Structure 1
Amino acid sequence: MAALGRVWGPALLWPRGAGAAGRRGVRALRRSPVRVLPPAKKKAGAAPAEAAPGPRREGPPPPAVERSAAAPGLWYEKAAPGDRRLGKVVTIAKSKKFRDNNGKVLLEGHRLIKDALEAGAVPQTLFFSTVGHLKELPEAEIKRASLIKVKFEDIKIWSDLVTPQGLLGIFSKPDHAKMSYPAAQLTNSLPLLLICDNIRDPGNLGTILRSAAGAGCEKVLITKGCVDPWEPKVLRAGMGAHFRLPIIANLEWESVPSNLPAGTQVCVADNKDPGAPAKTTSVPGGAGRAGSAPGNTKAPVKSRPEVAPDHEDEAAAADIPELATQCYYEDWARTPVAVVIGGETHGLSADALHLAASTGGKRLVIPVVPGVDSLNAAIAAAIVLFEGKRQLLRRHKEDDRQKVPVAG
């Protein structure tokens, strides 16, 4: 089948578990596919081929395939204005079920798509409003995708952006092990890792990833319970961070140590006063193994009816290991080191605290004025990561000075 037919096949539009509406959408596309005319292959001096005899087709002629002026070998389809089938493709591509079942993600905007292509992400379909968008993308990469020119008014309807750029793409979900990250990012990478724990807000996670890329983190580990990093809002807030450093998502806590370099010390970020006694607060079941929000007495408490609240709190407190506590600006960054950032609502899980305790890690406190609630998770991550970067760079300079021989 033609290029667009491949994109609109059941494998893309009908994830496993889709309801009757999804099946009706697939049947509609099968009945009326967009026709694709392949590039004409013409020998020098050959006369135009005559049309094969046969019954004439009723209705309007199929849309023509145009050649981009910027790239003579680049062909694309021109969709009819208001074609609702295209809207269905974009709508379905935004769902988590589609991402999980089909291994594809939706990217929007010139910068994000260009970063993805340069990092080696594989494009499946690109929707664009003007040929100029194609001229700004690497030609060799986009030749592998189905290119569909649509009206900007249609993209405005599909887009989640306030000011759409007229460019969307469906990509295979990137595999961090196969990506080619920017040379500048690799050159400035530090033995500093980030572990996300119970980060539920898409904007927070995207901003955290952006800070991790800016600080030069080696990689980011995202545990189960966090929002999907390939959710459109996370991608927008990340501003290309997804294609600048490895992001390993949906990890069970048992598999986190195997994704850390040998000898990594794991520290956790907290807002508790270092002079205050340790406190624990129970969190909703399922947020982690006997999860807690250390030092945050305002964290929501949700007691399970089959367990008395006092007994639950005692069990949670007994399961929380003691960690050495210090302010974030004091010396703590060793090589290598990982920092755990917990969500604002659920806080740090007991799994994170146990991992930190098993590696000799510390509880890093960001002091705030009394009466002020905990910091935003993204702000806390930026503060701790850039302080870790400062300490690692200072330690690196001190090591270099010690290696310089002294003139006799």
Structure 2
Amino acid sequence: MTLITSPSNPRISKLQTLHTARGRKKNGLFLLEGPHLLEALLNAQLWPHEVYYQPALLRRTSEGAALLERLFHTPELSASQLIEVSERVIEALGEAQTSQGVVSVLALDALNPSIIQQRRRPASRPCLLILDDVADPGNMGTILRTALAANVERVLLTPHCVDYYSPKVVRSAAGAHVALPVEVNMSWEAIAERVADHCGGQPRVLLAEASSDQMYYMQDLVNPFALIVGNEAHGPGQQAHALATLAISIPLANDVESLNVAMATGIILYEAVRQQAVQRQPGL
């Protein structure tokens, strides 16, 4: 096994460039920090390019110790891909305030949405979610995690959204990258084609907008539809409005102007989950 003890090691310096979008694009790699994300990769048989680990930190928990043993007994990972590092190095690689002892490196092209879709169980997934220029990485990650939990069909990201592979997005999404099909840098022409395919040629595109008098819970969220949510500061853009067939809103009291975009998305997605449950069990 390789052992690296200095944060100034050239190998570590190269990995630190993956904290920037430019570095990720140049190297074709991104980072996943923590045991939970590594376990998600292994469970999905997405083999990391490399794994940097600190044994003492991992062994602080029984889960971490079990993961370490699993790493050593995963035949798809060679000894050269498992790199032991000092605590100083693992802290330099990660962004979390307290390191959990492991950082994985994965190729950008490993998360092919078509392959991820093939691994999913067959199910009715009426919602196609479109994020229009969502800028905050915490919001993006929370939305992705919620979209996976609400079992959306897939997520489409417009070109000016925050980088899908940003460490903060990856950390906030808590494993959604591995299990949720996401298409990035989508033009509005390509989005319109996806919507038409998803909706069977009769697009229904709901646009979340606080000023609408059409309440989200009054809409049919059982049959195929697309949902657009927009940028935190200026809301959905002109092209989003052009594609939309109906603007919907969430009722707000006490002069509250709007909700956080991740919160609003979750409210609408779980109304869709509720409606589907009622359809399956009319007595609910």
Q: TM-score, normalised by structure 1?
A: 0.61
RMSD (CA atoms): 2.3
**Residue among 113, 118, 132 paired with 1:176:** 113
Matched, 1:332 2:220: yes
Answer yes or no: is the 8 Å Cα contact 1:192–1:217 preserved in 2: yes
Q: Give the direction of change, closer, same or farther, for the CA distance of 1:102–1:159 in structure 2 (3 Å limit).
A: closer
Secondary structure in 2 matching 1:87: helix
Amino acid at match of 2:40: D
In structure 2, C-alpha distance between the alignment counterparts of 1:166 and 1:216, rounded to whole Å: 31
User: Structure 2 vs 1, CA of residues 101 and 258 (structure 1 numbering), >3 Å: closer, same or farther?
Assistant: farther
Give the stretch that moved more between structures: 348-357 or 127-136. 127-136
Q: Quick one: distance in 2 between partners of 1:157 and 1:100?
A: 20
- 1:126 is matched with 51
Q: For the structure 1 residues 382 and 144, does the alpha-carbon distance in structure 2 shift closer, same or farther, using more than 3 Å as the test? A: farther
Whole-angstrom CA distance in 2 between matches of 1:336 and 1:244: 21
Q: In the TM superposition, what is the alpha-carbon distance from 1:370 to its structure 2 partner?
A: 4.2
Calculate percent identity across the aligned residue pairs.
32
Structure scoring higher RCO (CA < 8 A, sep ≥ 6) equals 2
Partner of 1:164: 99
Cα distance per residue 1:233-267 (max 9 Å; x no partner): 00111011111210111111111022231334211
Q: What letter corresponds to residue 268 of structure 1 in structure 2? A: L
Q: Which residue of the other structure, out of 175, 180, 201, is the alignment partner of 2:136?
A: 201
**Equivalent residue for 1:265?**
204
Distance 2:174 2:215 in 1: 30
Provide the C-alpha distance between the structure 1 equivalents of 2:80 and 2:148, rounded to a whole number of angstroms: 28
Matching residue's letter, 2:230: G
Q: Which residue of 1 aligns with 2:272?
A: 388
1:142 corresponds, among 77, 80, 88, to 77
Q: Give, in angstroms, the shift of residue 215 of structure 1.
A: 0.6
Deviation, 1:180, is 6.8
**What residue number does 2:4 align with?**
79
Residue equivalent to 1:312: none
Displacement after TM superposition at 1:117 (Å)? 3.0
Specify the alignment match of 2:239 in structure 1: 351
CA contact (8 A) 1:335 1:392 kept: no
Q: Conserved in 2, the CA contact under 8 Å of 1:273 and 1:367? A: no
What amino acid maps onto 1:177 in structure 2? S
Q: Distance in 2 between matches of 1:348 and 1:180?
A: 27
Deviations along 1:68-112, one digit per CA (max 9) or x if unpaired, are xxxxxxxx2122445532430221122211222332111111111
How big is the shift at 1:181?
7.0
Alpha-carbon distance, 1:208 to partner: 0.5
SS at match of 1:224: coil
| Secondary structure, aligned partner of 1:368 | coil
Which one-letter code corresponds to 1:220 in the other structure? V
2:170 counterpart (232, 235, 245) = 235
Counterpart Cα distance in 2 of 1:125 and 1:233: 20
Equivalent-residue separation in structure 2 for 1:189 and 1:84 (angstroms): 49
CA contact (8 A) 1:344 1:374 kept: no
Aligned counterparts of 1:144 and 1:196: Cα–Cα separation in 2: 40
In structure 1, C-alpha distance between the alignment counterparts of 2:126 and 2:212, rounded to whole Å: 28
Gaps of 5+ in 1: 1-75, 275-325, 402-408
Q: 1:376 to 1:169 in 2, by over 3 A?
A: same
Contact 2:205 2:227 in 1 (8 A): yes
Are 2:53 and 2:103, in contact at CA under 8 Å, matched by a contact in 1? yes
Q: How does 1:18-167 map to 2 (within 5 A)?
A: 76-130=1-55, 132=65, 133-137=67-71, 139-143=74-78, 146-167=81-102
Q: SS at the partner of 2:156?
A: strand
Counterpart residue identity of residue 89, structure 1: K
d(CA) in 2 for partners of 1:190, 1:120: 24
Q: CA–CA distance in 1 between the matches of 2:124 and 2:68? A: 32
CA contact (8 A) 2:2 2:80 kept: no
Deviation at 1:385, TM superposition (A): 0.6
* Equivalent-residue separation in structure 1 for 2:135 and 2:80 (angstroms): 33
Matched, 1:377 2:261: yes
Q: C-alpha separation between the residues in 2 aligned to 1:233 and 1:157?
A: 15
User: For 1:242-281, what aligned pairs fall within 5 Å after superposition?
Assistant: 242-260=177-195, 261=198, 262-263=200-201, 264-272=203-211, 274=213
Larger Rg computed on CA atoms? 1
For the residues of structure 1 that align with 2:76 and 2:228, how far apart are their CA atoms? 36
Please identify which structure carries the higher helix content.
2
How many residues end up aligned between the 2 structures?
267
Give the TM-score of the pair, scaled to structure 2.
0.85
Q: Which amino acid aligns with 1:271?
A: A
| Structure 2: segments with no counterpart, 5+ residues | 59-64
Residues 170 and 210 of structure 1: CA distance in aligned 2, closer, same or farther (over 3 Å): same
